[in-house]
Structure 1
């Protein structure tokens, strides 16, 4: 069975995953991804990147705290059902830590990895300061907040429940 980029986009819009489409058509998920990109599809993380408050060099993007931070942003922007269960749990765990210890997340390439907290350098949990306001990030010179970023990086009082 042949499938076009437009047909892939239509199925994605209906809520099917790339893997489901691939199984249905009898091709690889990677091929469906290629067709989706031809049809104009952008991965969700690409859309979120423009609202991340720091310019993150690629060597820091494998950091587990960065990955969790992105998941928090996605929950705050698109809702908890937009993530896998494990991504949602990671985001909630980070939110709980920020709340329990009155901390924020900061990025600085000079931060070392902290075993048990971060798997790589660049990101750290730091004590909240008054200048951070109600954000979950360190507010300092160089931090850029888009209008969407001003909403998604605020610290929610309650974490949204994920309904299956």
Structure 2
């Protein structure tokens, strides 16, 4: 992954999400918890999923491109990230639980 994509806010929320899942809320700052909670609430309330594709151009919401939140499709199930040619190898079958929309929030 090009390092510029790691500067995107969506990428940072995904990284915070994984840290929260693995280590718990106490390993995030209050600011990180608030941003992550807001991000997860947005995905849930608007029925959105995160997409990574290096061809996604920058826009007003993401100056680096590569990331977007888009309407959830039935094929997305409960996953936070849409599986595609760029993410399918990054999410092994046994990790599906980690990548599913959580019932609780940080």
Q: TM-score under structure 1 normalisation?
A: 0.57
**Aligned position for 2:100:** 154
Alpha carbon RMSD of aligned pairs, Å?
1.8
- The CA deviation at 1:134 is 0.9
TM score, norm. by length of structure 2: 0.85
Unaligned runs of 5+ in 1: 1-55
Contact (CA 8 Å) 2:51, 2:69: kept in 1 or not? yes
Greater alpha carbon shift after TM alignment, 69-78 vs 145-154: 145-154
Runs of at least 5 residues in structure 2 that lack an aligned partner in the other structure: none
Which residue number in structure 2 is paired with residue 125 of structure 1?
69
- How many residue pairs align between the two structures? 104
- C-alpha deviation, 1:103, in angstroms: 0.5
Partner of 2:43: 98
- Output one character per residue of 1:39-77: Cα deviation in whole Å (capped at 9) or x when no partner: xxxxxxxxxxxxxxxxx2212111111011111121122
- Structure 1 residue 147: deviation in Å? 6.0
Give the Cα separation in 2 of the matches to 1:147 and 1:129: 19
Contact 1:136–1:153 (8 Å) recurs in 2: yes
Q: Whose radius of gyration is greater, 1 or 2?
A: 1
Query: With CA pairs under 8 Å and 6+ residues apart, which has the higher RCO, 1 or 2?
Result: 2
Regions of 4+ moved over 6 Å: none
Asked whether the equivalents of residues 4 and 64 of structure 2 are also in contact (C-alpha less than 8 Å), the reply is no
